[in-house]
Structure 1
Amino acid sequence: MPNPHRCVTGTYAAIVVTAPPAVDTARTTIQPALRAAVEHLPAGLQRLVGYHFGWLDRDGNPHDGGVGKALRPTLALLGARAAGSAERAAVPAAVAVELVHNSSLLHDDLIDGDRTRHHRPTVWAEFGVPAAILAGDALLNLAYHVVGAEPAGSYGASRWLSEATNRMLAGQAADVSFEHRLDVTVEECLQMAEDKTAALLSGAAAIGSAYVSGPEEVTHALAAYGRHLGVAFQLVDDVLGIWGAAESTGKPVLADLRVRKKSLPVVYALRAGEPASTELAELYAATDLAETDLQRCADLVAAAGGRDWAEQQAAAALARALGAVRDVPLAAGTREELDQVAAYVTARNR
């Protein structure tokens, strides 16, 4: 198992991180229900969504794809088991959080101008902007249809999902507003990460327990675990967005710097007051940067302490996540699985 107290450093391309069994189980468990849910969409939207999930190629032919990392469904299913229920009882909740997540990815790719995901064109790049908007809207609507289909547990689960979605949208709005500012503070950026990324991971961890009517103490502890884990996830994601290898992340090298993203390592570096901070601010204010300039930006972020700070903060957030469930009565074995998932999140290379 990866060291849960230290984030991956060095050359990300050279590191192979194996997902824990809970993640692989979640991928397999939700796949039939996820596909069945998508079949409720009109044919045209099914094709777009099937392409996004990797099930279809651009012409609608079957394609050997998957459902991504399946981290959020993993947390939902583990939450149900932690509350003493069978994980299959929470499959609708797990599918719902995966649908919300993928709705956000479809819109995120469009907002950020990302043309590739999982080593192939994004939906908007392949089928156009209107198609990506509609596909994302369809998945968001479908999530609430799925989680509300069964009366038992659906009310509490829907509330967790709705709150997480609202906060995720607030975080996305903040992220967009940061694009035109050079005075973004580290505190603002951390709050954005808590909203944009951590809120849905928090909701995912809580929704499985809520869906099976688990004890409130367990549900809220899982929510805290997911929130801290989400901050760690975003910090690692931001490091990968600068230093991750394209063959691992599925995105171009230096992707976040290319669009002048105010990621956490960048904002820390800009506010650090180091000589590198001043040069970085000048480059970030430029309208067009060559490849050599982008590499220089990456070097400056590191020189100003942005990379080290992000990795240290991710390790601290991971420790808080583990602490959130340490003293709560969970079903046998699930605490160890939550620990494994947390370690995987901070040691991943994609």
Structure 2
Amino acid sequence: MTESTTASLAEADQRPAGTLERGSSIATDTDSRPGPFDGHEAVAILERARASIDPELRAAIESLPGSMRRIARYHFGWEHADGTPAAGNAGKAIRPALVLTTAAALGGPGARAAAVRAAAAVELVHNFTLLHDDVMDRDTTRRHRPTAWTVFGDTDAILAGDALQALALRLLAEDPHPASAAAAARLAACVVELCEGQQADTAMEGRGPAEVTLGEVLAMAEAKTGALLGCACALGALYAGASAADAEAVDAFGREAGLAFQLIDDVIGIWGDPSRTGKPAGADLAARKKSLPVVAALTSGTPAAVELAELYEVPYDGGDLEPTVLAVERAGGRDWAQGQASDRMARAMQKLSRAIPDPEAAGGLLALAEFVTRRTS
């Protein structure tokens, strides 16, 4: 953990929400910036989490019927479309890392080891949402390869996603740990919230550019993204035997960090490098999605907001997206999203300090939170 991170946590509870100390290592630009945060600690945490949960994931997926097993293996990058072995990208494992790191922070190494099945369950739920989101959004690329629905069809991809959700709850139902029942209930409630957020997201696509408020899109983002990150932290707290107050505090930390994550994800979706993101540039703009930077731009009251609204009123015809990108930027959407991500990170640090006031104990969680707000893909 860097010195700046340690100092930031120690001082977080003394600063108003939305402020960061001058020279903070938290940055939200999609370009790499020099600074005290280098991401090495977070990368190590993520790699360790992936190594811990993969055996559980593979064992769970092996229990699926053949057709769904094949789709799941493809989606996780373990197989090619023809069923031959692959060494693909299964994702960053941010959510299971939050489960395991929270458990360790509140209960030590033993709690971390006990929470591996819960961490795998969270990762299964996350991938259930990805399979379904790709179908609903008609996204054709994920993790640098064709999405599952483009390879296997809508129906099979949806059913594979359903199966992953069922596997997640089965992992917890079969876990003898005393916290497993509470964890299963919490994860199930989170899935309902995720569905609520996705429904709100898709409903917004059918509304005009002037009909969506910034408050609505922030609430949608918390439900779609923040809820699962918060739940991951809460499950870690449950498996550590932490108090209800501490579980709620780390849940709030995860939610705020999740909003920061989504803000940066939306920035990357517009200005990111496709060679790093694994997705085509401007896909959200082409789909006329009401992403956070876009809605901030549309509600800015600037001349560029009027221009953007006019562009968004017309379905994308396959032409140049650059005028739309420039309109979002000129209307302040990018600057707002980056500033809001910093604000959410400050709030996350405040919430975390209530449950884990010791900077050393909280270091892994802070490293992960910084990592997701400095990522470029």
Same fold (TM over 0.5): yes
Q: Counterparts of 2:48 and 2:246 in 1: how far apart (Å)?
A: 22
- Asked whether 1:341 is paired with 2:368, we answer yes
Distance 2:39 2:332 in 1: 25
Match of 2:11 in 1: none
Q: CA deviation at 1:206?
A: 0.7
Matches within 5 A, 1:33-112: 33-85=56-108, 86=110, 87-112=112-137
User: Which one is further off, 146-155 or 188-197?
Assistant: 146-155
Counterparts of 1:77 and 1:216, CA distance in 2: 18
Q: Write out aligned runs for 1:188-199 (5 A).
A: 188-199=216-227
> Could you tell me how far 1:279 is from its partner in structure 2?
1.0
**SS of match in other structure, 1:83:** helix
Using the TM superposition, give the Cα deviation of residue 187 of structure 1 relative to its aligned residue in structure 2, in angstroms: 0.3
Q: Matched residues in 1 for 2:307 and 2:32: separation?
A: 25
Give the letter for the 2:173 counterpart: G
TM-score (ref. length: structure 2): 0.88
Q: Deviation digits for residues 223-249 of structure 1, max 9, x if unmatched?
A: 011010011011000001101110111
2:314 equivalent to 1:286:
yes
Residues 246 and 354 in structure 2, CA contact (< 8 A), matched pair in contact too: no
Kindly report which structure 2 residues correspond to 1:199-278, keeping only aligned pairs within 5 A, or say none.
Answer: 199-278=227-306
Is the CA contact (8 Å cut-off) linking 2:75 and 2:148 kept in structure 1? yes
Identical columns (%): 46
Letter in 1 for 2:254: G
Residues 311-345 of structure 1 deviation map (CA, whole Å, 9 limit, x = unaligned) = 00000001111111114346884301111111101
Q: How far, CA to CA, are the matches of 1:310 and 1:141 in structure 2?
A: 35
Equivalent pair of 1:31/1:67 in contact (CA under 8 Å): no
Asked if the contact 1:203/1:223 (under 8 Å) is kept, the reply is yes
Deviation, structure 1 residue 11 = 7.7
How many residues are matched? 346
Q: What residue number does 1:317 align with?
A: 344
Amino acid paired to 1:100: V
1:159 aligns with 2:185: yes
* Contact preservation (8 Å) 2:104, 2:240: no
Q: CA deviation at 1:67?
A: 2.3
- The alpha-carbon deviation at position 211 of structure 1 amounts to 2.9
Deviation by residue 1:109-134 (Cα, 9 ceiling, x = unmatched): 00010011111100000111111111
Distance in 1 (CA, whole Å) between partners of 2:372 and 2:25 is 9
* Unmatched segments (≥5 aa) in structure 1: none
Residue 45 to residue 243, structure 1, CA distance change in 2 (3 Å): same
> Mean Cα displacement is larger for which, 61-70 or 99-108?
61-70
Q: Secondary structure at the match of 1:20?
A: helix
Amino acid at match of 1:75: L
- Counterpart check, 1:172 vs 2:172: no
Q: Is the 8 A contact 1:73 1:204 kept in 2?
A: yes
Which shifted more, 252-261 or 79-88?
79-88
Return 5+ residue gaps in structure 2 as ranges.
6-23
Q: Deviations over 1:32-53 (max 9, x none)?
A: 1111111111121111000000
User: How far did 1:285 drift?
Assistant: 1.0
Q: Is the 8 A contact 2:270 2:285 kept in 1?
A: yes
Checking the alignment, whether the CA contact within 8 Å between 1:242 and 1:298 is kept in structure 2 is yes
One-letter amino acid matched to 1:168 = L
Contact 1:17/1:349 (<8 A) preserved: no
Cα RMSD of the aligned pairs, angstroms, is: 1.8
Deviations 1:271-305 (A, max 9, x none): 1111111111111111233432x111111000000
